[in-house]
Chains A and B, each alone.
Chain A
Amino acid sequence: MDASSSIVAAVEAAEAAAAASEEPLDDDEEGLDELFHAAADHLAQLVTSNPASVPDAVKLKLYGLYKQATVGQCNTSKPAFWDRAGVAKWNAWSQLGQLQQHAAKEQYIEALRQQDPQWLAAAAAAAAGSSGAAAGAKKGSSVGGPVFSTLVHSGDEQQQQQQAAAGGSSSSSIHELAGQGDLAALHACLDSGAAVDARDGEGCTALHFAADRGQSEAAVLLLAAGADINAQDQDGQTPLHYAAMCEQLQVYELLLARGADASIADAEGQLPQQIAPASWSCWR
């Protein structure tokens, strides 16, 4: 069965890869599905790198369970007798009868674990590396207690995230680029003729955003491009005020070193150092 086993392996690997992206996951089954697909991926790797490492009998059993788990009960006719690999695979699948897909996944995982006890640790490591959000536990799956709740992100932001995902950074303003500290894009933006002191709806310049987010390199770049270091927003606050209020010590010191006027009061009469955290007193 040497020839047939490599066919099994190849088919298995291809199917595992194809199926992983196709199937929409039922929420309830998310955890099991994730593990199942991780197992399928792992088997594909295993047989591709070292075909001899998995006995044919196990490969066939896993093949049958895989088909059962992804397709359901065997729905093809038996291949002709000269197709030995095909017959072996068909037998492995059809003998599972009406086994539930859920149970087939569980048996698949268990069979692979018996074959390769190490794989689980690898799967866990890989899962830990990937984003936790999709794989995380569902909120409040415990009974008899409260629920941990966090603030829902505003629709505004989701829209922007979608925008960013769809259109890249081209839609980002110079303010956003400064806030994100995206130096290359900021350069390009300035090179393409964007006004360095352009105001947003609140009267902020890009330098305000750099100070706000502690982006000192972006601040250096903006200053080199001629940004007004003492620009005041509609509340009369300068970038120095922003650095103080947002506790961005590095930018605060940078602005002072570059000659920011610390004597400018905002509309409420507050100087930057008056709104800085108390713990900065030694720096004033």
Chain B
Amino acid sequence: MPPRDEPADQPGDGQQQQKSIAGLLDSLALAPVAQPSRKDIKDKYAFWGSQPVMQFSDEAKDVEDGPIDAPKTVEEVRKEPYTLPSSFVWCECNINDPHEVQEVYTLLHNNYVEDDDAMFRFNYSPEFLQWALQPPGYQRDWHVGVRVKGSNKLVAFISGIPASIRANGKPVPAVEINFLCVLKKLRSKRLAPVLIKEITRRVNLRGIWQAAYTAGVVLPRPVCGCRYWHRSLNPKKLIEVRFSSLQPRMTMARTIKLYRLPSSTTTPGLRPMEARDTAAVTELLNGHLAQFKLTQHFSEDEVAHWFLPQPLVVDTYVVDSQLAQQQQQQQSSEAQQLPAGAADAAAPSSSSSNGAGSSSSSSSIVSVVSFYTLPSSVLGHEEHNELRAAYMFYTVPGPTPLTQLMQDALTLAAGKGYDVFNALDLMDNASFLKELKFGIGDGALQYYLYNWRMANTPLQPKELGLILL
């Protein structure tokens, strides 16, 4: 059944029956996420079959890069919002408003993505949501909510943020769609397709016709399938909350020793990114990402937004070769047991000479490593209620060996009290995952493009340079 413009809420008998069955399934506590009954899956495929997305039937060799729909103008876009079931209304969520961001937080906190066994649920913090939803050029009407008439309770949400995607080298102005969430009790109302169509309409109204999004499920048709890997930082807690397990013949003590990290980082010149590094980081990042077939291009404003460190939201470190030099000089001067004054005198002179160099665009920033913070609620555990996870974000090794840079990232994350460090197997990550004791996860992540056909897909994860939060 292809989706209709009007959401199905005045059904015939058959539909009513199906709805009440879906309601039954939902009301069983064991169905936290909409049960993928055959009908759901058929509906999902019917829905995506009707959308401008690549289909499984597309032959890879015939595919050329470009939009799927015939080009449209903004004037042709439907002006009025899609119709919701009669008891609901659309709203825009003002993420800057402490009360409204709390509403979105609460909706996600109670209803967003869980693991298979409903032991963990993502718990994006309000600060994280403000960061994730308000990059430069964000549109408030792309923070789409659904409220119940009368009670005004927020029951569904979907968001889009602007992003300059590069697909096979071609710039594709797009949005990234994320945080699609419907109250558990309303999963049978089929709100998700309406939310997707409404965000598409609002994005189209601003002259943007393409989108990137991710999902755990395979839909028509992934441009790339990735897998999560996990590096234990606090193995004892991970075992206690059953994120990982302890083999009967393995001791906890040995496990703790296995995952122990050094107390300090090893790369000379590694320091937190500062505002003055923005131009250099932008150049490094775009230069590095250009090698990937599907990636994102960042403006300086976007780099400042996405990468300047914010506690418990995002951490970015740079390798500053000038600082490294200073550190080395200091070390060698200490080694030679020169008077302390000599090292002090040497440092400013070297920094001033390098300072002159940096104005001619050769910056002293050579590497970047970043991770963001996404805790999860631990559901129903006596002792622990939160799992603190760091997720690998964009990283540019430059002349620093990637494994060493990531080892330092792990060390920093462990020092900040994170329990686990997660990474996808995209970009060059496969080169360090095993060596740095990441274990493979049970979660796969599929990447999709909306209204964009991409030649030579699906991509290998190592060809993918795009990270959605």
Q: Quick one: CB contact mask for B157-178 with A, threshold 8 Å, 1 for yes?
A: 0100000000000000000011
Q: Quick one: closest B residue to A140, CB to CB?
A: B216
- The contact string, 1 if C-beta is below 8 Å from chain B, for chain A 120-161, is 100110011000110111111111111111111110110010
Contacting residue for A137 out of B21, B118, B257, CB 8 A: B118
| In the complex, chain B residues whose CB is within 8 Å of the CB of A138 | 33, 36, 116, 217
Residue of A nearest to B374 (CB): A146
> Which residues of the other chain, A, contact B301 by a CB distance below 8 angstroms?
none
Tell me the complex Cα distance, A271–B185, Å.
55
A4 within 8 A of B: no
Give the distance to chain A from B258, nearest Cβ to Cβ, in Å: 11
Contact between A148 and B21, CB atoms less than 8 A apart: no
Judged by a CB distance under 8 angstroms, whether B29 is at the interface is yes
User: A142 near B38 (CB under 8 angstroms)?
Assistant: no
- What is the interface size of chain B, counting residues whose CB is below 8 A from a CB of the partner? 76
**Is B139 an interface residue, CB under 8 A from the partner?**
no
Q: Is the CB of A132 within 8 A of B215?
A: no
The answer, yes or no, to whether A31 is at the interface (CB within 8 Å) is yes
A residues near B181, Cβ cutoff 8 Å: 142, 145
Q: Check if A144 sits within 8 Å of B215, measured CB to CB.
A: yes
* Assembled-state Cα–Cα distance A54/B307 (Å): 66
Residue of A nearest to B158 (CB): A144
Answer whether residue A237 sits at the interface, using C-beta atoms and an 8 A cutoff.
yes
Partner of B228, one of A107, A120, A147, A156: A147
Residues of A within 8 A of B236 (CB): 246-247
Q: Tell me the complex Cα distance, A128–B116, Å.
A: 15
Complex Cα spacing A52 to B20, Å: 27
CB-CB under 8 A for A139 and B116, given A29-B37, A145-B180: yes
* Chain B residues near A73 (CB-CB < 8 A): none
A63 to chain B, nearest CB (A): 19
* Interface membership of B219, Cβ < 8 A: yes
Query: How far, in whole Å, are A241 and B253 apart by their CA atoms in the complex?
Result: 9
Q: Mark interface residues in B290-313 (1 if CB within 8 Å of A CB, else 0).
A: 000000000000000000000000
Known A-B contacts A140-B216, A202-B254; the reply to A149 vs B443 at CB < 8 A is yes
Interface SS of chain A: helix, strand, loop or mixed?
Answer: helix
Q: Is A172 among interface residues, defined by CB-CB distance under 8 A? A: yes
**Which of A113, A133, A135, A150 lies in contact with B24, CB distance below 8 A?**
A113
B251–A209 touching, CB < 8 Å = yes
Interface membership of A175, Cβ < 8 A: yes
Please name the residue on chain A nearest to B420 by beta carbon.
A151
- By a CB distance below 8 angstroms, the chain A residues around B244 are 150-151, 153
Evaluate whether A145 and B18 lie within 8 angstroms (CB atoms) in the complex, with A136-B118, A139-B216, A139-B443 already known. Answer: no
Q: Is the CB of A149 within 8 A of B442?
A: yes
Residue of B nearest to A246 (CB): B252
Given contacts A145-B180, A151-B244, A202-B254, contact A140 B249 (CB under 8 A): no
Central interface residue in A31, A106, A109, A173, by most chain B CB within 10 Å? A31
The answer on a CB contact under 8 Å between A107 and B33 is no
Partner of A144, one of B21, B39, B119, B196: B196
Asked if B115 and A132 make an inter-chain contact with CB atoms under 8 angstroms apart, the answer reads: no
B17 at the interface (CB under 8 A from A): yes
Asked whether A150 lies within 8 Å of B214 as measured between CB atoms, the reply is: no
Chain B, Cβ-Cβ closest to A29: B38
Interface string of A174-206 (1 = CB under 8 A from B): 011001100000000000000000001010100
Q: Output the least CB separation between B219 and chain A (Å).
A: 7
Q: Is residue B32 contacting chain A, with contact meaning CB distance below 8 A?
A: yes
- Could you tell me if B444 and A147 are in contact, using CB atoms closer than 8 angstroms? yes
Chain A proximity mask over B433-469: 1 for CB below 8 Å, otherwise 0:
0000001111111000000000000000000000011
- Nearest B residue to A176, CB-CB: B248
A172: chain B residues within 8 A (beta carbon) = 248
Q: Tell me whether B248 and A212 are in contact (CB under 8 A).
A: no
Structural contact, A32 and B25, CB atoms closer than 8 A: yes
Given the complex, which residues of B lie within 8 Å of A120, measured CB to CB?
24, 27-28
B192 within 8 A of A: yes
Q: B418 contacts the other chain (Cβ, under 8 Å)?
A: no
**Complex Cα distance A187/B237, Å?**
31
Q: Is A242 an interface residue (CB 8 A)?
A: yes
B249 touches A200 (CB 8 A): yes
Whether a CB of chain B sits under 8 angstroms from the CB of A102 is: yes
4 shortest A-B CB distances, which residue pairs? A140-B216, A149-B443, A144-B180, A149-B441
